Structure 1
Amino acid sequence: MKRDWVVWLGCILLFGSGVVWGSVHLKTDFFVVSNVHDLFDIFGAIATVVAVCVAAVGLNSWKSQIRSSADHELARAISVSLLRYKAQVENIWDCASSAHARLDYKVQLGGSLKERVEQNIQSDINAAQAARVEFQGLILESKAAWGDLLNADAERLVEFEGRCCRCAQKYLKFFMYDGALGRYGLSKSHAEVVKSWQWFEQNELDSRDGAVQYLDRVVMSVFDALRAKRI
C-alpha cells in the first residue's frame, strides 16, 4: 500500500513538472545559429569541455599509476630488507643459543683469544641491530602509506631479535666478567643469562627448528600482506 502511494506521488510530481516546462515559451530562434563564426565558437566550447573531461580522467589515471608504482617499490624494498633482517635474526639466535649452552662451561682464555670471542659476539649483535634499524625505517614508511598493515608482524620479529641480542649481551657481560664484585657478581651475571633465555624456553623457541619455523611464519605473514602491493 505504501509503495502505491509512492508511485502515485511520483506521477503527480512528473505531471506537475511537465506543466511548468510547458508554460515556458522559448524564442523560435533560440537554437538557430546566426552565422558560421558562432557555430565554430560553439564547437570550440564543446571541444574545450571535452578536453577538460579527458584531461581529468587522464590525471586520475596517472595519479593511480604513480601511487601503484610507489607501493610496488616500497613493497619490494621491504621484502629485501625483511629477508636480510631474517638472516641476521637467525644468526643472532644461534649466538644466543650457543652462549646459553656454554654458560656452565666457562673456561679461562688468554687475552687475545678472549678479545676475539668478544669481538665475534659483538659483531653479531651489531649486525642484527643494523638490520633492525633499516627494517624499522621501511616499516615506518609503510605505516605512513598503508596504516598498520605490517605493524603486528614487524613487532613480533623485532621483539624476537631484541631478546636474542639481550641474551647475547648478558652472556658477553658474564664472559668478560673481571671479578670486581667477587663470586656474587659472577652469579648475578650467570642468572641474568638464564633469565633472558627463559622466554625462548617458555615459548618453545629454544630449539633451532622451532625458532626458524617461527621466523618463517612471521616472514610469510608479512609477504602475504605485501603481495597485493607488489603486483
Structure 2
Amino acid sequence: MMIKNRLTWLIGLMLFAAGMIWSQSFPKDFFRVQSIHDLFEIFSSAATVIAVLIAWATMSSWRKQAQAEYDHALARDLVVLLRKYNDELVKTWHYAGSAITHIENSSWIGDGGSDSLFVTVYQARIKEIEAVRAALSPLELEICEVWSESLKIHFLELTSLDELLCSIINTYIRLMVRGTFDERSEFESTNALNSWEAINSLGLDTAVAAQQKIAKAIDKLKSPAKRRLIGYGSV
C-alpha cells in the first residue's frame, strides 16, 4: 500500500511539472479574455460541447436499453417455447418406444385403414410436436443471426432427435394403414428398428435417461437465453 501511495504521488508531481513546463510555451496573455463578448462565446462553445457529449451519452444509453429490451423479449419467447418443446420431445420419445414395441410384435398386421383409433392417436402426437417445432423455427433463425451462429448446432441436436422419433411413429402409422406384411413393410420395419437403436446409442435407452438427455440438450439453449432476461438472477 505504501509503495502504491508513493507511486501515486510521484505520478502527480511529474504531471504537475509537465504542466508547468508545457504552460511556458504559451504567451502570457493566452488565457486572458479580451472582452465580455469573447467570454460569452467561450461559454457558448463549452455549452455546445457539453450538450453534444450529453446527447451522445443519452443515445448510447438508449441503444443499450433498446438492445436489452429486444434481447429480453426474444429470450422470453425462446424460454417458453423450449419448455414446451422439452415436454413434446419427452412425450414423443414415449410414443416412439410404444410404436417400436408394436412393430416388433407385428401387432399392426390386420384390416388396415386410416380410421383406426391408434392411427388417430399417433397422428395427433405428430401434429402436436410439429406445431411447436414450427413456432420455434423462426426464432431459431433470428437467434442464430442476432446472438451467435454457434447456437445452431444445439438447435440441430434437438431437431435431429425430433425427426428420428417422428420417423418411427410415421412408419408405424403407415404400417397400420396398410395392415399387410410384405417386402415394403419389412423394409420399413427394419429401418424403424435401426432408428430406435441409434436413439438408444445416444443414451436415451430408458425413460429417465431420455428425460435427462433431452433436458440437458434444451438447457444448452435455455441458459444463454436466461442470461438475457432482464432481472433474471437478481431475486
1:138 to 2:135 alignment: no
Deviation at 1:199, TM superposition (A): 1.0
Q: CA deviation at 1:36?
A: 2.6
Structure 1 unmatched runs, 5+: 1-13
CA distance in 2, matches of 1:25, 1:48: 25
Runs of at least 4 residues of structure 1 off by over 6 A?
none
Matches for 1:41-120 after TM superposition, within 5 Å: 41-103=41-103, 104=105, 105-108=107-110, 113-114=115-116, 116-120=117-121
Which letter does structure 2 place at the counterpart of 1:121?
Y
In 2, Cα distance between equivalents of 1:32 and 1:216:
73
**Contact 2:71 2:229 (C-alpha < 8 Å) held by counterparts:** yes
Give the letter aligned to residue 59 of structure 1: M
Tell which deviates more after alignment, 162-171 or 192-201.
Answer: 192-201
Contact 2:95–2:169 (CA under 8 A) maintained in structure 1? yes
Please say if residues 150 and 222 of structure 1, whose CA atoms lie closer than 8 Å, have aligned partners that are also in contact.
yes
Which segment is superposed worse, 38-47 or 50-59? 38-47
Q: Give the root-mean-square deviation of aligned CA atoms.
A: 2.7
Post-superposition shift, 1:215?
A: 0.8
- Cα pair 2:112 2:178 within 8 Å, conserved: no
Give distance in 2, aligned partners of 1:95 and 1:49.
68
Q: How do 1:185-224 and structure 2 match up within 5 A?
A: 185-224=184-223
Rounded to whole Å, the distance in 1 between the matches of 2:177 and 2:192 is 13
| Structure 2: unaligned runs, 5 residues or longer | 1-16, 231-235
| Corresponding residue pairs, total | 212
What does the per-residue CA deviation read over 1:2-55, in whole Å, with 9 as the maximum and x for residues that have no partner?
xxxxxxxxxxxx99xx6x985x67474x54434333322221111111111111
Aligned twin of 2:182: 183
Distance in structure 2 (CA, Å) of the matches to 1:112 and 1:57: 66
Please report the TM-score for the alignment, with normalisation by the length of structure 1.
Answer: 0.80
C-alpha separation in 2, matches of 1:110 and 1:56 = 72
Higher relative contact order (CA 8 A, sep 6+): 2
* Cα shift at 1:110: 7.5
For the Cα contact (< 8 Å) 1:88–1:127, is it kept in 2? yes
| AA of the residue aligned to 1:142 | I
Greater Rg by CA: 1
* Greater mean deviation of Cα atoms: 200-209 or 136-145: 200-209
Q: Within 5 Å, which residues of 2 pair with 1:24-35?
A: 26=27, 28=29, 30-35=30-35
Structure 1 vs Structure 2: percent identity of aligned residues? 25
Determine if contact 2:114/2:177 at 8 Å carries over to the other structure: no
- Give the direction of change, closer, same or farther, for the CA distance of 1:186–1:113 in structure 2 (3 Å limit): same
| C-alpha distance in 1 between matches for 2:115 and 2:144 | 45
Residues 158-177 of structure 1 show CA distances to partners (whole Å, capped at 9, x for unaligned) of: 11111101111111121112
Does the CA contact (< 8 Å) of 1:86 and 1:215 recur in 2? yes
Query: What is residue 151 of structure 2 aligned with on the other side?
Result: 150
Cα 1:140–1:25 shift into 2, 3 Å: closer
The one-character-per-residue Cα deviations of 1:90-129 (angstroms, maximum 9, x if unpaired) are 2221211111111112353575752x32222122112212
